[in-house]
Amino acid sequence: MKLKMKKKKVNYSEVLSPNFSRRNKKIKYIIIHYTGTKSLIETLNIFKDKSSQVSCHWLISKRGKLYKIVDEENIAWHAGTSFWKGENNLNDSSIGIELDNIGHGIHYKTFSNIQMKVLEKLLNILIKKYNIKKQNVLGHSDIAPDRKLDPGELFNWSRLEKKNLAYYPEIKKYKYRNIFFKLGDKNIEIKIIKKKLNKIGYKCSQNNCFDTGLKLVVEAFQRRFLPEKINGIIDSKVYSRIIHVSKNT
């Protein structure tokens, strides 16, 4: 079968999942995941199994083979408990794309070029079809920072931004100095940072405590916007990046 959009064509195979529900909400988001399984067959078996209660709309193998799992007009069960910009249950308003990748651990590997190319073609089609803002192309860890790490720091958001398929503002010079907040700290400045993270979309309690929730959000932010180091600490670099990213969201 073929997905078409003007000159762009993507071939796909159907391996349909029984795990879906009826969609009532408009599609507004695209959520990118990794499968976290050892093999593609394992993933396909999970999606085919009714008792697994999980699915997605599209799955891309390491070799760039595309599978349709759930029809876009239905809700696939990929996001679980989730939050972004004041909205809960992102499954209702999103399309879920899974990338075959073993995930975090000693074998966590970068996503192959052919896999990324197919993802780019698919995103191009979906973004136009549903008129999705590039700020609304998200990672699973963005919307569930307390539970999920995927697609993780090896996923190349910058590559997608260059093709206008995701939001990843260019890293500028870090202009703020002498900022250092970590778990357990209390400071009025922390409340302001939480507000900024909240503006970007992340779920943050609005107080001046650097709690575990904030640490997990900072890690998710680093995975997404500053992937060179993930430590859940707000230093001048992380602070500058939060300010910068929050400006255009």
Judged by beta carbon, residue 58 or residue 239, the one nearer Zn ion is: 58
Nearest distance from C-beta of residue 34 to Zn ion, angstroms:
7
Nearest distance from C-beta of residue 149 to Zn ion, angstroms:
9
AA letter at 46: I
How far is 176 from 198, CA to CA, in rounded Å? Answer: 20
Q: What are phi and psi of 29, to 5 degrees?
A: -125, 155
Judged by beta carbon, residue 155 or residue 210, the one nearer Zn ion is: 155
- Residue 224 contacts residue 143 (beta carbons within 8 Å): no
Judged by beta carbon, residue 56 or residue 193, the one nearer Zn ion is: 56
- Out of 42, 87, 98, 153, pick the active-site residue: 98
Q: Which residues bind Zn ion (CB under 5 A)?
A: 33, 140, 150
Closest CA to 126 of 160, 175, 80: 160
Nearest distance from C-beta of residue 78 to Zn ion, angstroms:
6
How far is 63 from 96, CA to CA, in rounded Å? Answer: 19
Structure tokens belonging to residue 166: 């995701």
Examine the residue annotation and report whether 219 is marked as an active-site residue of this protein: no
Task: Identify the three-state secondary structure at position 167.
Answer: coil
Nearest distance from C-beta of residue 79 to Zn ion, angstroms:
7
Catalytic residues: 98
